[in-house]
Amino acid sequence: MKLIIQFLVFSLTLVTLAHAEINLVELEAKLKGEGVTGEIHGANEDSKLFVLTVRNPTDFFDNIQLPLTSDSPEILASLAQIKRHQFYTVKGEFITNKAPIKHINLSSLVLAKDYHSEIDQLAHQYKGNTSELKNMTEFTGRVHAIGEEGKMLVMEYIDRIVPVFVSEPASQNMVKNLYRGDLIKLKYKTRTEPEAPLHLGLQPSSNNPIFVLESLVKSHGSPIEKSGYLIKFPKSPQINTNIYALLVEDIGGTTIQYTLTNFESPVLFKQIREKLEKVWNENLGSIENDRNKLVNRKLLVHGKGISNMVDAGQANPQILINTIDDLAIEVLK
């Protein structure tokens, strides 16, 4: 049962940009004083995108995502070396800009707790290039995060993360009702500020800038059947066991993963995990780094059960497996 609870925490970890109880005035006072310790949520030196997660120490699910930058060349060089799940103590102050979420201008960046993962052993080769977006006006991708009552949208363009400003109330109302992982067609215009990372802005609502191609919550509670490559989320500060899922690849190049589980039966949950772990360990020669997870494209998983999507910021949609026979793995040649 303990393992199921830990898995539930992982599966429902919010990736919204909203915060509930964290006091921003107190947080900035700490930034200017003794510093604030948080976990690196994402880091991409190529895109100049670095995000720190600060959590309420008494409530795991109460957290805030804070993009990082600095006027110091030395700190910028250090940012280029940070990794997801490392903990850093940072000092600085909030930047005064028009962004709907707070950004930190760092004056100090000190490693508080290092982190090593299986993922580090393989280099990730990005398939997407955000500079391509400068010559386009629309693309199809997955929702990565939403926040500030729909004023901020973060999209996945292939395997890149792109922030999107949402200024019109009509579009904000639509964005705040999206779910992480929803597949949408986005009409946008490129913003000139900031220079990096690349930010987009929605086209006017009169142009219907958001068209939902797949709403994950609409299938919640319904029978679902999916096939995809086996992926592994190695254990991390949020979960002390490996998590397995199947990866579905969209035609446009983005992906979505469905975690495979059962919350009602500890016995079945253990069978699911052991079945997937066994075939994973038997085929270690074809593993790739897929940004924040490992994927084996020689292992095709077929899973059927009940769709589970209970929160807009849920890390991944889930397939609740009813019997171990509803989970099959095919080893591709």
pLDDT per position as a tens digit, 5-14: 445 444 545 4
241 and 225 co-located in one domain: yes
184 and 150 co-located in one domain: yes
Residue 5 lies in a domain: no
Mean pLDDT of the chain, nearest integer: 89
Residue 123 lies in a domain: no
Helix (H) or strand (E) holding 291: none
Q: Are 172 and 202 in contact (CB under 8 A)?
A: no
Determine the length of the chain. 333
Q: Are 17 and 152 in contact (CB under 8 A)?
A: yes
- End of a domain among 181, 214, 247? 214
* DSSP conformation class of 7: H
Residue indicated by tokens 């997407």: 128
pLDDT at 208 over 50: yes
Residue 44 lies in a domain: yes
Domain tally for the chain?
3
**pLDDT for 218-261, tens place per residue?**
999 999 999 999 999 998 877 778 899 999 998 888 999 999 99
Residue 283 lies in a domain: yes
- End of a domain among 162, 190, 214? 214
**pLDDT for 60-86, tens place per residue?**
777 888 989 999 999 999 999 998 889
CA 220 to CA 312: how far, in whole Å? 12
- End of a domain among 169, 185, 214? 214
Residues with Cβ within 8 Å of residue 4, at least 6 apart in sequence: 261, 263, 266, 269
Q: Token pair for residue 46?
A: 């190529």
30 and 78 co-located in one domain: yes
**pLDDT for 81-118, tens place per residue?**
998 889 999 999 998 877 778 889 999 999 999 988 88
Q: Token pair for residue 133?
A: 């977006």
CA 82 to CA 45: how far, in whole Å? 9
Residue 1 lies in a domain: no
Residue 3 lies in a domain: no
**pLDDT for 147-186, tens place per residue?**
888 988 999 999 999 999 999 999 999 999 999 999 999 9
For position 279, which CATH number holds? 2.40.50
Nearest alpha carbon to residue 283 among 264, 301, 298, 268: 298
User: Residue 37: which domain range?
Assistant: 11-115
